[in-house]
Structure 1
C-alpha cells in the first residue's frame, strides 16, 4: 500500500497533464496460496470475476480517489502488458511511451515522476494542451 500511496501522490501532482488508472490483476499473494505477512487484506484466489471485483472494491476503499478497473479472468491485460505483479506504464496517442520495470523490484515511482516532469516541461515549452494516460 506504500507504493500505491506514492503512485497516488504522483497522479495528483500531474493530474493536469495525465489521467491515471489502476488495473487490478490476479492477486499476487492470495490468502489460500502464497500468503504475504504484510498484506493489508486477506484475499483468496479469484475464482470468478465477482471475486476479483470484490477484491478491487477493498482496494478502492483504501484509495477512494483512484480510478480502478479489473482485468478479465483470462488475465488479458496482465498478459498484454506483462504486469505481474505490478508495473507502471504511460500511454500517449494509444502507444506505450514509458514502460517501468516489473514489480516489485523494478517498480520505480521516481522514473514515472521524472518522465511526467520532462513531459510537463515539453508541454510548457510548446504550449500544447495534451493529456497522456498513466
Structure 2
C-alpha cells in the first residue's frame, strides 16, 4: 500500500469502530517482473509461501502495522476475488461489501474510508 503510515494512523484512531486487516498479495513490482527503478521495496515474485511471508515481514519492518496481516495463497485467490492488485481498500459490514475503493495506488482513497468510519462512529455513539 502506498501509504501504510496513514493506514496505521487510521486503524489506531478508529479501532473502536471497525476491525482492520491487511492481506499481502502478489508483489506488484517484483524485481524479476515489472520492476520500478529506485523502488525501496526490492522483492522478487514469490515462488512459495515462505518467500511471500518474508516479503510481508520486510514490508512490516519498513512500516509496522497494528492490525493483523494475512497472506494470500500462491494461487492469489483473495487477489482475484477482490481485484486487489496492486492494492485496494474495502469495507465489509456483516459479511457484505459496502465499499469497494478504486484500484490503487492512484484511484483509492483512504479519505473515503475515513469519512465512512467517522459517519459510522457518530451513528454508534
Q: Distance in 2 between matches of 1:27 and 1:52?
A: 9
Counterpart in the other structure of 1:60: 60
Give the alignment's TM-score, normalised by structure 2: 0.92
Find out whether 1:115 has 2:123 as its counterpart.
no
Question: What's 1:34 paired with?
Answer: 34
SS in structure 2 of the partner of residue 23 of structure 1: strand
Runs ≥4 residues deviating over 3 A: none
TM-score, with normalisation over the residues of structure 1? 0.86
| In structure 1, distance between residues paired with 2:2 and 2:47 | 27
- Could you say what secondary structure the match of 2:92 adopts? strand
1:16-57 alpha-carbon deviations (Å, 9 max, x no partner): 111111100000000111112342221011111111111011
CA distance in 2, matches of 1:81, 1:5: 23
Q: Which has the larger radius of gyration?
A: 1
Tell me the secondary structure at the aligned position of residue 98 of structure 1: strand
Listed as ranges, the matches of 1:21-100 within 5 Å are 21-62=21-62, 63-100=64-101
Please list every run of 5 or more consecutive structure 2 residues that lacks an aligned counterpart in the other structure.
none
Count of residue correspondences: 124
RMSD of aligned residue pairs (Cα, Å): 1.4
Secondary structure (helix, strand or coil) at the match of 1:43 reads coil
* Counterpart Cα distance in 2 of 1:4 and 1:41: 13
